Amino acid sequence: MDLVELTEMIVKSLVENEDAVSIKEFPTEDENTILIQVIVAEEDIGRIIGKEGRIANAVRTLVQASSSLKDNKFVRIDIDKF
């Protein structure tokens, strides 16, 4: 499972409107960095970020840990709403 699929699986399990989830990987200038953009419906943004950003940080930690097992790249996840 690649990092985008893992992120999508985690995010879709947290939101109510799974059809509004859009997750894409974008190239960065640094070859050791992966940028993953997560876009969810406006009503689900609180579920993804959580209180004080705890859920967002947990998602980032899980994806980063998966990356360290495979290609050992730094993962940056940006979360936004429609």
Residue pLDDT, tens place only, 24-62:
999 899 989 999 999 999 999 999 999 999 999 999 999
Ordered strands of the 22-26 beta sheet: 22-26, 33-40, 74-81
Look up the CATH number of the domain holding residue 67. Answer: 3.30.300.20
Q: Using the predicted structure, report yes or no on whether residue 76 has a pLDDT greater than 90.
A: yes
Q: Cβ distance 34 to 7 under 8 Å?
A: no
Measuring CA to CA, which residue among 12, 22, 14 is closest to residue 81?
Answer: 22
Q: Are strands 33-40 and 74-81 parallel, antiparallel or unpaired?
A: parallel
Question: What is the total count of domains within the chain?
Answer: 1
**How many CB atoms lie under 10 A from the CB of residue 23?**
20
Range of the domain at 64: 3-81
What pLDDT digit, counting tens, does each position of 2-27 carry?
Answer: 999 999 999 999 999 999 999 999 98
